[in-house]
């Protein structure tokens, strides 16, 4: 066990609020957990030394942090500042059928029902998910009533000041036939450490459109998770855009808990400098007739390291499942690393599952083609890199977000050193 985890466990024990039963359970599991090493499969390529050495501490009452403006986006804005919900104008302005509340402010009955869902979608195997269970001091609960379609996206930003440690937790519930868009994003000033976990319960025929922008870079440490539970005929479409940092790790779990559910996940990451980004994407097909389509693309420059683990698990009863994973990686430098592991674990015979993974350089023919038209090699490389990612940006259902992220990504490519 590491000193960091020991101190986390000690701090978790101080608290005795409405989350206490869940916290106690998490602490019990944590006490029995071995601190991961290189030999721990889930952390094989992502050493935890930066967390062991982190000097980040909880910071209270920090003001002056504002979420990044997204041009043209008309969203319902929620912001965590150093882990505390900044609940300025949450009250009456919400559209009908949408409620956003802090768990601690609910009635005991409501709290009891929230506890029924809390930490049931997020699998217990995630070490930092347990840390979050233990250290989070409140839960933001977002719910959409039956058959209500919310047009305005709900944006949940997490803002971190220099050296801050933060633990945030959101529980999103879409009742039957509901529709919602959620945007998660982060801004951090450096040397921060955050755990950020969101659980989504998507009832029959509900539809979730989801975005996670993990754009923190530099010395920030980030560990988080997005966990989705899909019931009968539920649908989700998730887009993840990530840059790397000294340590940035995201675990996604898509659980087909009902029949005929449909999940799409498009993830892209662009790493530069000495950054690391590690995406562990798990799909559990527990019920029949589900479909999953995952596209993961990654570009790694300089001394950066990219890790991807894409697991598709088809349970015995999940007949007629269609699941596909496509993972493509571009390695731009001889100091960079790509470690990718697409996995299939299949226990049903009448399914169609496939995965493909490639690691390569930029397509030389395309590079030549651009050059024959007079485009310089450097510019052509930027264009091709961008094009590789742009294919996934084109798939983003929300055009405002696509238009917002495109120039940000283009700018990042323009700065990347290519060989």
Partner 1 sequence: MSNSNNLLTIKDLYASVEEKQILKGLDLEVKPGEVHAIMGPNGAGKSTMGYVLSGREGYTVDSGSVVLGGEDLLDMETEERARAGLFLAFQYPVEIPGVSNLEFLKASVDAQREARGEEAISSADFLKEAKAACKKVDLPISFLKRGVNEGFSGGEKKRNELMQMLLLQPKLCILDETDSGLDIDALQVVAEGVNSQRSSDRSFIVVTHYQRLLDYIKPDFVHVLSNGKIVKSGDASLAQELEAQGYAWLQTEPTEDELEG
Partner 2 sequence: MTEQIDKALAREYEAGFVSDVESETFAPGLDESVIQRISKMKGEPEWMLEWRLGAFRDWLQMEEPDWALVDYPKIDFQAISYYSAPKSMKDKPKSLDEVDPELLRTYEKLGIPLIEQQMLAGVAVDAVFDSVSVVTTFREKLEEAGVIFCPISEAIQKYPDLVKKYLGSVVAKKDNYYSALNCAVFTDGSFVYIPKGTRCPMELSTYFRINEQNTGQFERTLIIADEGSHVSYLEGCTAPQRDENQLHAAVVELVAMDDAEIKYSTVQNWYPGDEDGKGGIYNFVTKRGVCHTNAKISWTQVETGSAVTWKYPSCVLKGDNSVGEFYSVALTRGRQQADTGTKMIHLGKNTKSTIIAKGISAGKSNGSYRGLVRMAAGAEGARNFTQCDSLLIGDQCGAHTFPYVESRNPSAIIEHEATTSKVSDEQMFLCQQRGLDPEKAVSMIVNGFCKEVFKELPMEFAVEAGKLLEISLEGSVG
Binds 109: which of partner 2, partner 1, none (CB < 5-8 Å by kind): none
If binding is defined by CB under 8 A, does position 334 make contact with partner 2? yes
Told to check if 125 binds partner 2 by CB under 8 A, we report: no
How far is C-alpha 127 from the geometric centre of its chain's CA atoms? 15
Q: Is 344 in the site for partner 2 (CB under 8 A)?
A: yes
CA distance 54 to 20: 27
- How many helices (H) and strands (E) are present in the chain, helices listed first? 8, 20
Asked if 326 and 294 touch (Cβ cutoff 8 Å), the reply is: yes
Q: What is the 3-state secondary structure (H, E, C) of 171-224?
A: EEEECCCCEEEEEEEEEECCCCEEEEEEEEEECCCCEEEEEEEECCCCCCEEEE
Nearest CB to partner 2, comparing residues 136 and 298: 298
Q: Write the burial class of residue 406 (CB in 10 Å: 0-12 exposed, 13-18 middle, 19+ buried).
A: middle
Instruction: Select from partner 2, partner 1, none the partner in contact with residue 329, using the beta carbon and a kind-dependent cut-off of 5 to 8 Å.
Output: partner 2
375 binds partner 2 (CB under 8 A): no
Q: Which is nearer to partner 2, 80 or 388 (CB)?
A: 388
CB of 17 to partner 1, least distance (A): 49
Q: Which is nearer to partner 1, 21 or 387 (CB)?
A: 387
Around 293, how many Cα atoms within 13 Å sit in the side-chain half-sphere? Answer: 7
The verdict on 98 binding partner 2 (CB under 8 A) reads no
67 vs 310 by CB, closer to partner 2: 310
Count of residues in contact with partner 2, rule CB under 8 A: 35
- Answer yes or no whether residue 33 interacts with partner 2 by CB under 8 A: no
If the CB atoms of residues 179 and 355 are measured against partner 2, the closer one turns out to be 355
> In Å, how far are 128, 151, 152, 156 from 96, measured between CA atoms?
35, 11, 12, 19
CA nearest to 125, candidates 247, 26, 10, 5 = 26
Applying CB under 8 A, the residues found at the interface with partner 1 are 363-366, 368-377, 379-380, 383-384, 386-391, 394
Q: 168 or 381: whose CB is closer to partner 1?
A: 381
Shortest Å distance, C-beta 313 to partner 2: 9
Question: In the stretch 313-332, what mask flags binding to partner 2 with x, by CB under 8 A?
Answer: ---x--x---------x-xx
366 binds partner 2 (CB under 8 A): no
Of 352, 376, 378, 394, the one binding partner 2 by CB under 8 A? 352
Q: Is the dihedral of CA 389, 324, 129, 246 positive or negative?
A: negative
Q: For 281-320, b where at least 16 C-beta lie within 10 A, e where not — what string?
A: bbbbbbbbbbbbbbbbbbbbbbbbbbbbbbbbbbbeebbe
- Residues of this chain that interact with partner 2 (CB under 8 A) are 41, 316, 319, 329, 331-334, 336-361, 419
């Amino acid at each position: 066990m590491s000193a960091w985890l020991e101190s986390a466990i000690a701090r978790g024990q101080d608290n005795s609020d409405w989350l206490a039963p869940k916290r106690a359970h998490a602490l019990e599991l944590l006490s029995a957990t071995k601190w991961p090493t290189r030999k721990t499969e889930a952390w094989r390529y992502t050493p935890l030394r930066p967390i062991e050495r982190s000097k980040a501490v909880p910071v209270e009452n920090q003001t002056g942090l504002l979420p990044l403006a997204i041009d043209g986006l008309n969203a319902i804005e929620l912001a965590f500042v150093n882990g505390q919900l900044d609940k300025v104008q949450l009250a009456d302005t919400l559209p009908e059928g949408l409620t956003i509340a802090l768990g601690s402010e609910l009635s005991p009955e409501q709290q009891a029902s929230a506890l029924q869902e809390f930490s049931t979608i997020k699998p217990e195997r995630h070490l930092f998910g347990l840390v979050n269970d233990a250290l989070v001091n409140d839960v933001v609960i977002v719910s959409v009533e039956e058959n209500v379609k919310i047009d305005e996206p709900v944006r949940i930003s997490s803002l971190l000041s220099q050296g801050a440690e933060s633990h945030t937790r959101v529980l999103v519930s879409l009742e039957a036939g509901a529709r919602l868009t959620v945007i998660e994003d982060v801004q951090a000033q450096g040397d921060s450490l955050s755990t950020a976990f969101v659980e989504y319960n998507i009832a029959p025929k509900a539809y979730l459109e989801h975005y996670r922008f993990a754009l923190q870079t530099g010395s920030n440490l980030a560990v988080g998770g997005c966990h989705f539970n899909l019931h009968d005929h539920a649908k989700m479409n998730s887009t993840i855009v990530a840059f790397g940092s000294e340590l940035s790790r995201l675990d996604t779990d898509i659980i087909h808990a009902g029949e005929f559910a449909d999940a799409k996940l498009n993830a892209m990451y662009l790493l530069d400098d000495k950054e690391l980004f590690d995406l562990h994407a798990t799909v559990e097909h527990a019920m029949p007739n589900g479909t999953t389509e995952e596209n993961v693309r990654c570009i790694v420059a300089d001394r950066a390291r990219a890790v991807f683990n894409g697991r598709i698990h088809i349970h015995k009863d999940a007949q007629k499942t269609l699941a596909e994973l496509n993972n493509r990686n571009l390695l731009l430098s001889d100091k960079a690393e790509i470690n990718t592991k697409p996995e299939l674990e299949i226990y049903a015979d009448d399914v169609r599952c496939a995965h493909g993974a490639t690691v390569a350089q930029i397509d030389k023919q395309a590079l030549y083609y651009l050059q024959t038209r007079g485009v310089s090699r450097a510019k052509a490389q930027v264009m091709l890199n961008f094009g590789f990612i742009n294919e996934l940006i084109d798939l983003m259902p929300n055009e405002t977000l696509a238009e917002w992220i495109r120039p940000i990504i283009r700018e990042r490519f323009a700065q990347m050193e290519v060989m």
